[in-house]
Structure 1
Amino acid sequence: MAIPQQTIDQILDRIDLVELIGQRVKLKKTGRTYSGCCPFHQEKSPSFHVYRDKQYYHCFGCQANGNAIRFLMEYESRGFPDVVKELASMASIELPKEQFDTKKPTYKKTQTKPTHSESTDTSPAFKAAHDPFEFIESDHANDFTVLEESFTKEHQEGNLYDLLENIAEYYEQQLTQHTHAQQYFQQRGLTQKTIQSWRLGYAPEGWQHLEQAFPQDIEGIKQIGLIRTSDSGRDFDLLRDRVIFPIRDSKGRVVGFGGRALNNEIKPKYINSPDSDVFHKNQLLYGLYEGGKNKAQDWLMVEGYMDVIALSQANIHGAVATLGTASNTDHLNILFRRNHRITIAFDGDSAGQKAARRTLEIALPLLNDGRELKFFILPDEHDPDSLIRREGVEKFKALWEQSPLLSDFLFALLSHSYDISSPEGKSQVMAELRGLTNLLPQKGSYRYLLNQSFREKLGLGKRFTPKVSNDAALSFNIQTRIEDYAIALLISHPFLYQQFSSLQEHIPKEELLAEILEILKVLFDTLPEEQDAAMYYILGATSEYHHITLELLQRTNIFSLVDTPEKAFNLAQEYTLTLKGTYLRKKMKKPQSLQESQHLRKQLNELTKQISLQLLQ
């Protein structure tokens, strides 16, 4: 059954879009709208606007737009039913059950029948209310059927989320009764407010304390893995004599637990709930819900639960930790959906460096243009918790801010492994870099920029100087057009083809730039990785135009104009936008139809906004 459009409209009318987006993106009131940096692409100047009266958002940079449903689907990578169900709940609107009543994670409860000695009341009403299975009289057969169905539904089936919430409350209550567990948190510097905020608890020593506390829910506790069965067939509780860290999902529901041994001699020190129907540790991060609740903008992945909590207590929100597993692509993507720049903290020892290298290899395929990864290398023998206590909050923030970007971290990592004063060492660094950059997305400029940056740092940035004729006919009083600069840039930096490729649908086919772009389109995937080799490769492929291209390389003085990879990339963007505007205006002078004229005008308006935003950055 499709959800009525009237119901969807009603949901959207009741949702305050500014408040919804403001919980995830920092917004500032600007006139009649609220603006901020777009969460869907990298930008320095805000081009993302939220219109409260229209319940609509729009980004003038990447053209992302939509309503509350679209925003949550895109921002949190969620499906339509899940998003609509959450918004309906926020708006207190009931949805059609046929559409959204998916199967809940349930379990069968164990029945505990009360005995007759518990009451002297033997009336049929008492029996029906307290023990329907005793109420079997022929005169009441139909009544019993109804009662049995009701009892089965309400008393024989439990919800795993409810059970986990009840267990979390049980662990919290147990903490108040065990001084030695309270002392652990106090020694770690946690305040009572922090303990309550993070719902910290304690699992008693007993081997069957959960069975005793929840006798009807044993089947459910087994499903979530907190009761295990030994080889001899005896049940026992997984978490015993451990302080407890409840783990919440993105909606704030308790889905699992982490337990730390109070005795350091006990191994393993940490035990986490196993995966279950509601708990998938590879897709969750400890502290993510709490960080979002506190409107965190910057995200830092740390090692342990206590690091997350200590940073939060110091008003540094946005720290998260994996749940006893190594970081993976799901974890990183979760954070990248919240900010284009994320930081990962590592110990400064050799183990920390190995972990950083593993994370680097996992992260590289995810680094599309606009995403940044920073590496926070902690001082020896310190974690974020101990570093804050020793150096203070401001020092910690400063160290975090100074954390190197991936490119700088990677160069330091590789250059320390080889003697870069020798040709052999430089060759080894470039070979290792090539192996890593092959993991980067093929689309985008980052692979090219990273290689160029390394070459320049290693002193390999020798520039090509073409030898051209001094014939006065080639150099006398010739006006250099922007198309000439674009051609020179493409020949000298062929990897920038992707930045120019959007011009191909607008540029007249008789233009030399169109010919160069078509050749690059065919050969792009076969370009040599080395910058100089790629340039010679394209010079060979465009040999029929040598008399023009070589002259343009000299006349534009492109090698002096472009002295860094970043400048080359920025010029490519500038030339592309300017040329696209030129070609659109030419087309508008002779439109094929009124419809085409309107379409061209719309494109030109959007392009003008892009150019304006780029000038502001």
Structure 2
Amino acid sequence: MAIPQHTIDQILDRTDIVELIGQRVKLKKTGRTYSGCCPFHQEKTPSFHVYRDKQYYHCFGCQANGNAIRFLMDIDQRNFVEVMKELSSQTGIELPQEQHDNKRLSYTREKVVAKTTPAPSPVSTTLTEPTANTDQASAPIETPPLDFAIDPFEQFQPQYADPEHDVFFDISPEQHVEADGNLYDLLENIANFYQQQLPLSKSAQRYFKKRGLSNETIQYWRLGYAPDDWQHLQHAFPQDIQGLKLLGLIRTSDNGRDFDLLRDRVIFPIRDSKGRVVGFGGRALNDEIKPKYINSPDSEVFHKNRLLYGLYEGRKQKAHDWLMVEGYMDVIALQQSGVYGAVATLGTASNEEHLNILFKQNNQLTIAFDGDAAGQKAARRTLEIALPLLSDGRELKFFVLPDQHDPDSLMRQEGFETFNRLWQQSPLLSDFIFALLSQQHQITTPEGKSQVMAELNQLTELLPKHGSYRYLLKQFFKEKLGFNKKWQPQVSLDASLSFNIRTKDEDFATAILIHYPYLYSHFETLRAIIQPDQLLAQVLTTIDRVFEQLPDDQEQASYFILGACSAYHYELNEILQRTHIHMLIQAPEMADQQAKEYALALQEKYLKLKLKSPSSLRESRHLRQQLNELTKQISLKLIQ
């Protein structure tokens, strides 16, 4: 069975490799990865790591590595087709029958007996001033009327260059079936055709110039123009009418007339993750025409809900930070100014698939919204979609734009530095939710606080059940609303400004664990390498023993741990007073982030200590592999 690459990619995108491998291997979250003992060789200390964001696994002991398909093939000794059938069943993506997928991407081409005519001057793709009268009058009508007093298709029959052969022709009725065409090839030719038409339209060039786009940007994004007559694609591609209809670029009116979907519009070719043109967006040049934007309809190669405009270009530019905006022009203008990670949905609201695609690029994601009521409504909807996806380690920020600005206008008027500063200052999800709910309720009254907590409980129910974020978010709101006043330490400014006593990383880690016991999962791996006589080691052992019994409430959980660690009461009390951990950590994301950083730093410290006196050559080699992997994790965090 021949399985096309795009089907394989779809199946891998919908397969959670951590969940799949977790059914065969006991995995524990360690920083940004999941680790366990390798199933492909015997080992006691975990060296097998699974990367959810990359959908990849790697063993630093035996060097086994690959994706979900390779794992199932190797673990069960099955062939590729058998594994693909299983994953197909799990993800709901059908595999093609023999030759079926190729047929879906093909169409019948018609051979046209062409009568060549003297060609006009060659079409140039350089954006120079066009000759006079090259623009036709913009018509606000988007579908042809049912009855024509004068048939516009007969009155206006221009000649077009064949984009493949640069031959000009008239259409003859004598036709016969030729070879099959491919939809991807046709889309590429159409994109070239629209690009060739741009230098012929003064109004289209004026539009891009007004939006501040350079010639280099226009060429890079392959921007173009769709002429305003009703059948320009039929004339340019007379052999490919069936393919054009399959793509939805030619429509049929009620009276049986074929007409082009995109007319008198600037054109934005849409590329998939591999850089192939799969569809087009068109923006009307006449503002009286509604809708202002039209996209190609869904087809065999174009699926709006699974594509993001600018994703391919951002990957090509090796973007690290990703920002979801609203429109094509926002994406292009931002990338022209150096914000390479800007993407937009294709005329649809953002959905789970869009967010998952971006979370695979980076666990930190920002979404831009207008500051008006409509923007707040869209933000609330996106929030409810995003919450189920926020497993531990993922971070979502909300960039609320100043009034009367979109990202494009903000960048052009305020410049890159201001734009970037406002972006980086965007509130985290926890702060955004609190601001959103506190605007709707009077939080100075008990009734208002109760309403806020009731809505928060509804929202947190959407969060993944496994993980610390649900717990941390509730505690964050309780502290913001003043429920935990008695637990706020009295901070001495003199003490906080004293640098005479150096506080160890172990002390901060201990304070975090006492105050946020549910963050124990970040430190669990330390138990295997930390010196057992350390106070932190004793606290970790105690929490591990009672973890399943911890109360849901943070204050009660902290009291519970303090009681369980009563043998170290005086040492712990001194550490809590000295670190002021409650004042240093103001948001649940911050607590989670601090816990990860201290855990990584301490792992590195104790691995280096053990390397000084390994018990055997084998242990030394294994410790070195662990340290190398840890160093990579720390380097990635520094880059972020």
Is the TM-score greater than 0.5? Answer: yes
Q: 1:614/1:281 Cα in 2 relative to 1: closer, same or farther (>3 Å)?
A: closer
Query: 1:185 aligns to what?
Result: 208
Q: 1:583/1:370 Cα in 2 relative to 1: closer, same or farther (>3 Å)?
A: closer
> What is the CA-CA distance between 1:242 and the residue it aligns to?
1.4
Q: 1:306/1:533 Cα in 2 relative to 1: closer, same or farther (>3 Å)?
A: same
Q: 1:492/1:261 Cα in 2 relative to 1: closer, same or farther (>3 Å)?
A: closer
Does the 8 Å CA contact 1:584/1:600 hold for their aligned counterparts? no
Does the 8 Å CA contact 1:300/1:343 hold for their aligned counterparts? yes
CA distance in 2 between counterparts of 1:569 and 1:171 reads 48
CA distance in 1 between counterparts of 2:507 and 2:219 reads 66
Query: 1:477 aligns to what?
Result: none
Q: 1:61/1:173 Cα in 2 relative to 1: closer, same or farther (>3 Å)?
A: closer
CA distance in 1 between counterparts of 2:179 and 2:194 reads 24
Q: 1:224/1:174 Cα in 2 relative to 1: closer, same or farther (>3 Å)?
A: same
3-state DSSP class of the match of 1:403? coil
Does the 8 Å CA contact 1:503/1:576 hold for their aligned counterparts? no
Q: 1:576/1:319 Cα in 2 relative to 1: closer, same or farther (>3 Å)?
A: closer
Instruction: Find the partner of 1:517 among 526, 529, 544.
Output: 544
CA distance in 2 between counterparts of 1:488 and 1:321 reads 42
CA distance in 2 between counterparts of 1:577 and 1:462 reads 32
Could you tell which deviates more after superposition, 561-570 or 356-365? 561-570
Does the 8 Å CA contact 1:243/1:259 hold for their aligned counterparts? yes
Query: 2:423 aligns to what?
Result: 400
Q: Which amino acid aligns with 1:319?
A: A
Q: 1:414/1:518 Cα in 2 relative to 1: closer, same or farther (>3 Å)?
A: same
Name the % identity. Answer: 56
1:423 aligns with 2:439: no
CA distance in 2 between counterparts of 1:613 and 1:254 reads 36
Q: Which amino acid aligns with 2:243?
A: G
Q: Which amino acid aligns with 1:112?
A: V
3-state DSSP class of the match of 1:414? helix
Q: 1:612/1:410 Cα in 2 relative to 1: closer, same or farther (>3 Å)?
A: same
RMSD across aligned C-alpha pairs, in angstroms?
A: 4.8
Does the 8 Å CA contact 2:600/2:630 hold for their aligned counterparts? no
> What is the CA-CA distance between 1:343 and the residue it aligns to?
1.6
> What is the CA-CA distance between 1:349 and the residue it aligns to?
0.3
> What is the CA-CA distance between 1:332 and the residue it aligns to?
1.6
1:351 aligns with 2:351: no
> What is the CA-CA distance between 1:42 and the residue it aligns to?
5.8
Does the 8 Å CA contact 1:301/1:319 hold for their aligned counterparts? yes
3-state DSSP class of the match of 1:103? helix
What are the superposed Cα offsets for residues 362-412 of structure 1, whole Å, 9 maximum, x if unpaired? 222222333222221111111112222222233222222222222222222
Query: 1:224 aligns to what?
Result: 247
CA distance in 2 between counterparts of 1:256 and 1:409 reads 35
CA distance in 1 between counterparts of 2:51 and 2:112 reads 63
Q: Which amino acid aligns with 1:111?
A: K
Q: Which amino acid aligns with 2:188?
A: E
Does the 8 Å CA contact 1:488/1:553 hold for their aligned counterparts? no
> What is the CA-CA distance between 1:251 and the residue it aligns to?
1.8
What are the superposed Cα offsets for residues 473-510 of structure 1, whole Å, 9 maximum, x if unpaired? xxxxxxxxx999999976764423433555788999xx
CA distance in 1 between counterparts of 2:112 and 2:263 reads 26
Q: Which amino acid aligns with 2:102?
A: K
**How many residue pairs get matched?**
474
What are the superposed Cα offsets for residues 262-319 of structure 1, whole Å, 9 maximum, x if unpaired? 2212211111011111111111111112222222222211111111112222233221
Instruction: Trace 1:126-525 onto structure 2 (pairs within 5 A).
Output: 155-462=178-485, 493-499=516-522, 502=525, 517-521=544-548, 523=549
Q: Which amino acid aligns with 2:400?
A: I
Q: 1:242/1:531 Cα in 2 relative to 1: closer, same or farther (>3 Å)?
A: same
Instruction: Find the partner of 2:554 among 504, 520, 531.
Output: 531
3-state DSSP class of the match of 2:377? helix
Structure 1: unaligned runs, 5 residues or longer: 3-39, 44-57, 82-98, 116-150, 466-481, 540-544, 592-596
CA distance in 1 between counterparts of 2:407 and 2:571 reads 55
Does the 8 Å CA contact 1:463/1:559 hold for their aligned counterparts? no
Does the 8 Å CA contact 2:225/2:267 hold for their aligned counterparts? yes
Q: Which amino acid aligns with 1:520?
A: F
Does the 8 Å CA contact 2:31/2:522 hold for their aligned counterparts? no
Does the 8 Å CA contact 1:487/1:516 hold for their aligned counterparts? no
Does the 8 Å CA contact 1:260/1:271 hold for their aligned counterparts? yes
Does the 8 Å CA contact 2:509/2:598 hold for their aligned counterparts? no
> What is the CA-CA distance between 1:224 and the residue it aligns to?
1.0
CA distance in 1 between counterparts of 2:186 and 2:633 reads 53
Does the 8 Å CA contact 2:274/2:312 hold for their aligned counterparts? yes
Does the 8 Å CA contact 1:488/1:549 hold for their aligned counterparts? no
Query: 1:106 aligns to what?
Result: 106
> What is the CA-CA distance between 1:180 and the residue it aligns to?
2.2
3-state DSSP class of the match of 1:416? helix
Q: Which has the larger radius of gyration?
A: 1
CA distance in 1 between counterparts of 2:206 and 2:539 reads 77
- TM-score, with length taken from structure 1: 0.65
What are the superposed Cα offsets for residues 60-79 of structure 1, whole Å, 9 maximum, x if unpaired? 99997599x999969xxxx9
> What is the CA-CA distance between 1:447 and the residue it aligns to?
2.7
3-state DSSP class of the match of 1:290? helix
Write 1 or 2 for the structure with the bigger share of helix: 1
Does the 8 Å CA contact 1:581/1:607 hold for their aligned counterparts? no
CA distance in 2 between counterparts of 1:314 and 1:232 reads 48
Does the 8 Å CA contact 1:261/1:269 hold for their aligned counterparts? yes
Instruction: Trace 1:544-559 onto structure 2 (pairs within 5 A).
Output: 549-553=565-569, 555-557=571-573
Q: 1:210/1:398 Cα in 2 relative to 1: closer, same or farther (>3 Å)?
A: same
> What is the CA-CA distance between 1:554 and the residue it aligns to?
5.5
What are the superposed Cα offsets for residues 81-130 of structure 1, whole Å, 9 maximum, x if unpaired? 9xxxxxxxxxxxxxxxxx99973721111233579xxxxxxxxxxxxxxx
Does the 8 Å CA contact 2:57/2:66 hold for their aligned counterparts? no
Does the 8 Å CA contact 1:341/1:373 hold for their aligned counterparts? yes
Query: 2:5 aligns to what?
Result: none
CA distance in 2 between counterparts of 1:590 and 1:241 reads 74
Q: Which amino acid aligns with 2:572?
A: T
CA distance in 1 between counterparts of 2:507 and 2:114 reads 92
What are the superposed Cα offsets for residues 520-546 of structure 1, whole Å, 9 maximum, x if unpaired? 33x46xx43x3234456x57xxxxx96
Q: 1:237/1:611 Cα in 2 relative to 1: closer, same or farther (>3 Å)?
A: closer
Q: 1:184/1:73 Cα in 2 relative to 1: closer, same or farther (>3 Å)?
A: farther
> What is the CA-CA distance between 1:351 and the residue it aligns to?
0.5
CA distance in 2 between counterparts of 1:615 and 1:176 reads 51
CA distance in 2 between counterparts of 1:395 and 1:418 reads 32
CA distance in 1 between counterparts of 2:302 and 2:229 reads 25
What are the superposed Cα offsets for residues 534-561 of structure 1, whole Å, 9 maximum, x if unpaired? 456x57xxxxx96x64454455216545
Q: 1:407/1:180 Cα in 2 relative to 1: closer, same or farther (>3 Å)?
A: same
3-state DSSP class of the match of 1:271? strand
Does the 8 Å CA contact 2:520/2:543 hold for their aligned counterparts? no
3-state DSSP class of the match of 1:180? helix
Instruction: Trace 1:63-78 onto structure 2 (pairs within 5 A).
Output: none
CA distance in 2 between counterparts of 1:581 and 1:113 reads 78
